[in-house]
Structure 1
Amino acid sequence: CQNFSARGLAPIVRIPKPDPYLACMVLDGGAQGVVAPYMERVAQAKELCGATKFRPLKGVRLDRVLSGEEALGEPLQSYIGKFNENNLCLINIESVEAIESLDKLLAVPDIDCLLVGPHDLSISLDIPEDYRNPKFTEAMKSIIDKGRAAGVGVGFHYSFGIEEVMDWIRLGANFIVYSTDFFLVRDALVRDVGQLRETFGDSIHGKGGEVGPAAI
């Protein structure tokens, strides 16, 4: 995280589960944003927002603030606002249950972005990896429409084709995580080596210019 920040890039870290202590740990390590996977419950979302937007406040008092039982006074409110001003809170929407709870999740203050996990969502919809299925498109449209209407960014992480990416951007998605360095290098190698094999088969050129097994 420190290396990314030193180069002017905001480091955003996906934690293994929606856990406020894990969120605090990566923020202490220099992250400026936290992505929490498989978010379905409002209580989880509130805890994540507490960890990313109200650090270093903790414990019972943080619970009272998050529930609305207590309002922070000065100078603590200004201090916490300054302390967390660059922190981002992103939640993964990856299941039918999350979509059904989306209105309640979006009512939680301080959520900055919904990040769709297409693979897990397709599994939850009983249409594994069928990203062109109307059922999947309908789910994506619902998430994007509700998120943007609430003033929250909506995005996705996707590696399987640029056409779907363009379709979802047209629907209103505005936070795009496209592929990974590993997949991009792998796909380029598969494409280029495949083209060489298609052109030359398993042959190589020998010193005398011959092609085929005799050239070895």
Structure 2
Amino acid sequence: LHYTQARINTTEWNWKGAERKYKRAIELNPNLASVYGGYAFFLSTQGRHQEAIAFIKKKRELDPLAKHIYPDTAIIYLFARKYDLAEEEYKNGLELNPESMGILNGLGFMAAARRDYPKAIVYFQKALAALGGKHTGTACYLVFALARSGKPGAARGMLKEIESGGQYTSPAELAIAYIGLGENDRAIGLLENGYRDHDSQMQFLGVEPHYDDLRGDPRFADLMKRVGLSPDNYR
């Protein structure tokens, strides 16, 4: 119950409430690996990376054969900007599940963060193929990579498909596509929509590398504060 409430609090941006519930869940279930994993992810999005790494290691200690242990560990390292460690975890996971959309996306994030955009394109295309081309979030990341690799025409073509396709697209993820194209004002406007709509993806503003181009923009810092994320925690 406490673990479930912690996750609900997270979607509501009730960060203090979420942390209280995670801690209580661990007190009541000290050997339940999934609670440590959830708390690690929460801490990671809050910019508390050393704590997050410690808790994901605890999850691994309790359940080393957990189904998603490699990508769950990788995303913690990715948000901490420990790219070599993240890549190792993703690749270990890929050996077990070569068509995992989450792992392929993660490897795309890794490549984009390192500015290896051609490689990012390959991984994002594979991730889209694994889902039959229907995951608009991944398509937004692909637009970013296409634009940054010097293919603005292809990027805008895909962006048009996303915006006219009839599927719901997270405003925070659509903003990433526009960041890739250098349209930061449009990206900020979409993030304002994400704030208005209480988009769950807004929890990643502090740690997602795709937002790095906005970090010097006071409008972005203001958005983070309104979501309850202090920019000072991520420096």
TM-score (norm 1): 0.29
Larger Rg: 1
TM-score (norm 2): 0.28
